Structure 1
Amino acid sequence: MSHKEAARLGDLVRAAALRLESAGIDGAAREARLLLAHVTGFSTARLGAELGEAATPRVVNQFEAAVARRCAREPMSHIIGKRLFFNHEFSVGPDVLDPRPETETLVLAALERPWRRVLDLGTGSGAILLSLLAERGQATGIGTDLSPSALGVAHGNAARLGLAERCEFIESDWFRGVTGSFDLIVSNPPYIAEAEMAVLAPELSFEPRMALSDGGDGLSAYRAICGDAQPHLTPGGWLMLEIGWAQGQDVSAAMEQAGLEDVRILRDLDGRDRVVEGRLPE
């Protein structure tokens, strides 16, 4: 191909896949296609039929910038600005924790219980709260977060999903700004111990640190939530918390010490401890 001949979309994908693979990205070919689909505006399905087409200068430049960002280990969701979670696309970015597939374990567990009023502590993008409300047409809820920027992201997601009238977002340090009681309280709090942060995937350096770690042993959020949950639960109401794989026993003990019953640990699809739930006696 001469230097004057325009590159084909397929050429861009193949070259990008090699760069991403060299940068240590798993699934490099798939990610290269996702980035090109984002830049061109094509669906991933249509992109396959367009790979023989010439790339415009705009596409070449924007694709090069996107690939460079991914090679620097910026999360894919930050580059394309969205993440699929529990049947919905959520806007995400550096102000919020990127919703993980394993967190769907918490959503599925919550949907097995009867509730009409839900509180999501540390809501971030709003992915948990909004996924729950989308499945329960008459339910309402509140999401809290310490970060005003995160709350802005959650507000936007609620509006896009048509759920803004059934939820409220407030700036709060756990329960501090919350009034009233709820049939269900959920949270995916920061649970990574400070000592573990240095060995985590490089992508996590792009996410808000306070959403990942408590700066201590990874359990302080659970102690705070469990300790103050009872006045905010209706009789028979459930508390459900996502956990790190080795925290099940500690969080279960915190729930039992707080007076909750029927405490149990739920596993995710990989067989790891993922959620601890407990119920306030009626």
Structure 2
Amino acid sequence: MRGAELVARGTATLSAAGVPDAGRDARRLLAHVLKVPPGRLTLFLPEPVDPDLEEIFSAMIQRRAARVPVSHLTGRRQFYGRDWLVTPDVLDPRPETETLIEAALAEPFASVLDLGTGSGCILLTLLSEREGAVGVGIDLSDAALNVAFWNRNALNLEGRADLRAGCWCAPLDAADSFDLIVSNPPYIARSEMAGLAPEVREYEPRMALTDEADGLSAYRAICACAPGHLEPGGRLIVEIGPTQGADVAALMAGAGLRGITVITDLDGRDRVVIATQEAKTG
């Protein structure tokens, strides 16, 4: 069967299963199976596909129809222009998180702490974009840290990114301080979990999605510990759910941070909250 026919058949199967953007996913999976860049797949669509590869593609389509995320089938995900290893042990890097990256890069920093680093995509992107900067990534999940280690080494950042296991700021020494602290913590309330897409609810790590409470527990913990590790004038930047801006801003104010700003994403939804540690005077 030719590539174009496989894409058409795969698209029909995914559409019948209710998968959004079925045609896009069918093309991405065929490009993965054929080991060609997705942008060049069109060149290969008129060509016959080897029967063994056709069988692999069909199996992937069936798994995608069961709502397994494409990234779990291919093991890769694009984020901020780079290719990342992802597994079921980490959240998929999402385009919305690039709002946090842009906010962080808007001002200078030489050191960065990433709380709940997961795949490492935030920390490692910031270090890749800011030559000479160093950073620490912390995660409670050893399995997630294994993915972050792989991504760090693939980007040749071993000497600039220190990855540590633990809960929020606990693995830090009292004297550790940073110009920038970032986090994309679990912010989905337990009551909201049932409404998530199956790809997220059933296949991404639950501990990275929800605090099993009101969705604000992680921000309370971060606001309790992060200011003590911020340099004077340093920034705390966190990703939030679209209804959490006012609550997270209040937590930051209660922690003594200043200059608190809520930033929207490209869809106009509240997505990031920034606050600054007061600079010393005198």
Q: Aligned equivalents of 2:44 and 2:100: distance in 1? A: 39
The equivalent of 2:195 in structure 1 is 199
The equivalent of 1:62 in structure 2 is 56
Q: Aligned equivalents of 1:186 and 1:55: distance in 2? A: 45
Instruction: Report whether the alignment pairs 1:235 with 2:229.
Output: no
Q: 1:181 aligns with which of 177, 182, 185?
A: 177
Question: What secondary structure, in the 3-state scheme, does the structure 2 residue paired with 1:31 have?
Answer: helix
The equivalent of 1:259 in structure 2 is 256
Deviation at residue 229 of structure 1 after TM alignment: 1.5
Q: How does 1:119-158 map to 2 (within 5 A)?
A: 119-158=113-152
The equivalent of 2:212 in structure 1 is 215
The equivalent of 1:3 in structure 2 is none
Q: Aligned equivalents of 2:150 and 2:80: distance in 1? A: 17
Q: Aligned equivalents of 2:125 and 2:219: distance in 1? A: 22
Question: What secondary structure, in the 3-state scheme, does the structure 1 residue paired with 2:159 have?
Answer: helix
Unaligned residue ranges in structure 1 (runs of 5+): 1-6
Q: Aligned equivalents of 1:54 and 1:117: distance in 2? A: 52
Question: What secondary structure, in the 3-state scheme, does the structure 2 residue paired with 1:271 have?
Answer: coil
Instruction: Report whether the alignment pairs 1:19 with 2:16.
Output: no
Deviation readout 1:175-225 (Å, 9 max, x if unpaired): 011120111000000000000001110001100000000000000000000
Deviation at residue 98 of structure 1 after TM alignment: 0.5
Contact 1:192-1:213 within 8 A present in 2 as well: yes
Q: 1:103 aligns with which of 86, 97, 100?
A: 97
The equivalent of 1:44 in structure 2 is 38
Q: 1:278 aligns with which of 275, 278, 281?
A: 275
Question: Please, what TM-score do these two structures have when normalized by structure 2?
Answer: 0.96
Question: What secondary structure, in the 3-state scheme, does the structure 1 residue paired with 2:150 have?
Answer: helix
Contact 1:75-1:206 within 8 A present in 2 as well: yes
The equivalent of 2:246 in structure 1 is 249
Deviation at residue 106 of structure 1 after TM alignment: 0.4
Aligned residues: 276
Contact 1:172-1:178 within 8 A present in 2 as well: no
Q: Aligned equivalents of 1:230 and 1:259: distance in 2? A: 8
Unaligned residue ranges in structure 2 (runs of 5+): none
Q: Aligned equivalents of 1:239 and 1:248: distance in 2? A: 14
Question: Please, what TM-score do these two structures have when normalized by structure 1?
Answer: 0.96
Deviation at residue 47 of structure 1 after TM alignment: 2.3
Q: Aligned equivalents of 1:270 and 1:190: distance in 2? A: 21
Deviates more, 1:155-164 or 1:203-212: 155-164
Deviation readout 1:134-164 (Å, 9 max, x if unpaired): 1111100000000111001001111111212
Q: Aligned equivalents of 2:181 and 2:204: distance in 1? A: 24
